[in-house]
């Protein structure tokens, strides 16, 4: 983050302080944890927003919680809705039930975590957001699915999509990154180097997005539906 000073928003991967874990006992932090305090301190000191997910223990329950911290230290949070059953995440974590959109510098941002990417109904744009943030620990063997689905979410929802994925290894998986920002046309605006720690910086052009939506009003023609949780 210090290598790219001056950004308005810094986004970190899923469970960036611990690595992805399905056995959170002894690893998960409290709601007033040092990791969150660090995010708040950095945001205040650098006049920026900081976002990323942390394994959180609250009232004897565990949550994969995505924090979005504003420059004044205030925050919003989203608890991961789609727990990764293939890896056993559902056995120890509690799924979230609320879809969370934050507004920052005039841009409405939908917060999503990793496995949520495979469920397009949960992310369906109802003309209520301009960008999706996906933070992830998405392993190398399924990286093509990650890249393809990120592009699909951007095109079908006529929005920007930022996918931030970790790199490195743990006892079970290898991660090669694949972090990138995609515009509403499905084009890559910026990306990180594959397989190594890196930072990518790009600008969001909200005026061009609005013009595109007026010119090609896809969202106005979307099917109506009710989502039951």
Contact predicate 54/43, CB 8 Å: no
Total length of the chain = 229
Rounded distance, CA 16 to CA 115, Å?
A: 16
Q: Which of 9, 3, 94 is nearest to 47 (CA)?
A: 9
- 80 included as an active-site residue: yes
Burial class of residue 208 in the structure, from the number of CB atoms within 10 Å of its CB (0-12 exposed, 13-18 middle, 19+ buried) = exposed
Pick the catalytic residue: 29, 48, 80, 159? 80
Dihedral sign (CA 75, 22, 195, 109): negative
Residue 78 to residues 12, 55, 56, 109, Cα–Cα distance (Å): 15, 12, 12, 12
- 192 included as an active-site residue: no
The 10 Å Cβ neighbour count of residue 218 is 14
First-to-last CA distance in the chain? 37
Rounded distance, CA 71 to CA 212, Å?
A: 30
Pick the catalytic residue: 21, 48, 114, 159? 114
Pick the catalytic residue: 14, 21, 159, 192? 14
- 14 included as an active-site residue: yes
User: Which residues belong to the active site?
Assistant: 14, 80, 114
């Amino acid at each position: 983050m210090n290598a790219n000073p001056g950004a308005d928003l810094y986004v970190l991967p899923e469970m960036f302080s611990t690595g992805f874990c399905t056995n959170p006992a002894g690893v998960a932090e409290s709601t007033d944890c040092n990791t969150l305090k660090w995010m708040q301190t950095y945001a205040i000191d650098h006049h920026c927003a900081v976002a990323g997910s942390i394994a959180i223990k609250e009232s004897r329950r565990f949550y994969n919680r995505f924090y979005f911290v504003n420059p004044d230290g205030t925050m919003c949070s989203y608890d991961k809705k789609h727990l990764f059953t293939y890896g056993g995440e559902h056995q120890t974590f509690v799924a979230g039930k609320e879809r969370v959109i934050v507004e920052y510098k005039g841009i409405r941002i939908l917060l999503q975590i990793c496995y949520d990417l495979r469920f397009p109904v949960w992310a369906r744009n109802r003309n209520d957001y301009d960008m999706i943030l996906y933070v992830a620990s998405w392993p190398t063997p399924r990286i093509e699915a990650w890249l393809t689905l990120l592009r699909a979410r951007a095109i079908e929802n006529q929005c920007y999509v930022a996918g931030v994925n970790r790199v490195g290894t743990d006892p079970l998986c290898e991660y090669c990154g694949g972090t990138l920002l995609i515009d509403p046309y499905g084009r890559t605006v910026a990306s990180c180097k594959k397989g190594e720690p890196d930072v990518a910086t790009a600008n969001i052009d909200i005026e061009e997005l609005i013009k595109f939506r007026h010119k090609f009003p896809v969202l106005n023609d979307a099917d109506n539906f009710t989502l039951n949780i």
